[in-house]
């Protein structure tokens, strides 16, 4: 896996870009939104500078090929993020993570994004499986995963996050 040069992607309605300086205010708006954070256990930033260590972590992870993290844009506007991270030691399985600004919920954008990133993971990274971890009460995320052929793994547990449920999609090429 090599994420340099950065893999810019595109669908009919969306672009998947690297986080840039010009995106910081929109990124802050997304990460500080209470609805975006409703089912996620993380520190909510109170000001843009609170995000700087996380942004550095994103950049270093891409440079070190530890993860790939895209901002999702619609007509130049940052509306969400999506990433592949937490790769298995053999680099055959990754976790997908995503967030979408609430103004863009229920319009098919995240489904479109997931399909593109799953295809990238299977076709370009040769992943055998992609997993998603979501809160048991996050009905929107669960419906999204089901719609995109992720299968609930009832016997697996996310240690330390007992309310999370694990879903998985296998590469059946």
pLDDT of residue 173: 54
pLDDT of residue 54: 94
pTM for the structure as a whole:
0.95
pLDDT of residue 52: 94
Distance CA 50, CA 58 (A): 14
Structural domains in the chain, CATH included, are 9-170 (3.40.630.30)
pLDDT of residue 116: 98
Question: Mean pLDDT in runs of 10 for the chain (173 residues)?
Answer: 92 97 95 92 92 95 96 97 97 97 96 98 97 96 97 93 95 77
Q: Which two tokens stand for residue 134?
A: 């979501």
């Amino acid at each position: 896996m090599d994420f340099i040069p950065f893999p810019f992607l595109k669908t009919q309605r969306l672009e998947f870009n690297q986080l840039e300086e010009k995106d910081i205010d929109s990124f802050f708006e997304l990460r500080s939104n209470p609805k975006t954070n409703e089912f996620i256990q993380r520190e909510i930033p109170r000001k843009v500078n609170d995000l700087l260590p996380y942004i550095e972590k994103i950049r270093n992870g891409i440079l070190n090929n530890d993860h790939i993290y895209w901002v999702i844009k619609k007509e130049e506007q940052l509306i969400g993020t999506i990433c592949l991270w937490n790769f298995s030691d053999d680099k055959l399985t990754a976790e997908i993570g995503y967030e979408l600004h609430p103004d863009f919920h229920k319009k098919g954008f995240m489904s479109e994004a997931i399909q593109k990133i799953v295809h990238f993971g299977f076709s370009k990274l040769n992943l055998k499986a992609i997993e998603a971890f979501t809160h048991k009460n996050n009905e929107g995320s669960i419906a999204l995963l089901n719609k995109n052929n992720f299968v609930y793994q009832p016997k697996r547990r996310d240690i330390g996050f007992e309310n999370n449920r694990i879903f998985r999609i296998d590469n059946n090429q």
